[in-house]
């Protein structure tokens, strides 16, 4: 069973020469790069960009909520609200960015294995920018993981909860 610390450990040989450059860690991802990482596509791709990424630890993603998204036709006419299930899915997709880049991770699809302690604190409406921060709490056997997720609008908590994932081949 592997732990998060085992996943984060690197077995690289140190090179102290002045010409040796440390590999640059990518900390942001464009929409095109997200499409390379996640299997989701319109209309269920719910992450527009990643604004902060710490490998094996956390990712912060942005979702620009717009009125022309298909869910607002029926949820609700005259008072559009982003469905809570889509907020949770958006947070999970940010978590997917972390999982898809873990060293030595097997190829496969990460799916929900559980959702705990999810609470909705503020409505999300067209025009809002949802900022989702997802932190990896643990990973076991490189196949099961748990994350803490938060979604905010203008610094106000909109949703939070624990998300569990399992890899399926």
Query: Which amino acids are annotated catalytic?
Result: 75
3-state secondary structure of 12: coil
Q: What whole-number distance in Å separates Cα of residue 3 and Cα of residue 61?
A: 25
Describe the chain by its helix, strand, coil percentages, rounded to 5: 20, 35, 45
Q: What is the DSSP letter of 46?
A: -
Cα-based angle 101, 40, 152 (whole degrees, multiple of 5): 80
């Amino acid at each position: 069973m592997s732990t998060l610390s085992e996943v984060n450990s690197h077995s690289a040989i140190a090179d102290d020469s002045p010409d040796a450059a440390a590999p640059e860690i990518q900390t942001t991802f464009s929409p095109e790069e997200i499409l390379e990482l996640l299997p989701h596509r319109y209309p269920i791709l719910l992450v527009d960009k990643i604004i902060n990424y710490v490998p094996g630890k956390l990712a912060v993603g942005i979702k620009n909520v717009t009125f022309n998204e298909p869910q607002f036709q029926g949820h609700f006419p005259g008072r559009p609200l982003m469905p809570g299930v889509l907020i949770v899915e958006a947070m999970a997709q940010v978590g997917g960015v972390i999982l898809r880049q873990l060293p030595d991770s097997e190829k496969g699809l990460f799916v929900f294995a559980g959702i705990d302690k999810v609470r909705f604190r503020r409505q999300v409406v067209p025009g809002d920018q949802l900022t989702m921060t997802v932190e990896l709490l643990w990973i076991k056997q490189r196949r099961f993981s748990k994350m803490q997720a938060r979604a905010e609008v203008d610094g106000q908590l909109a949703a939070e909860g624990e998300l569990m994932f399992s890899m399926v081949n």
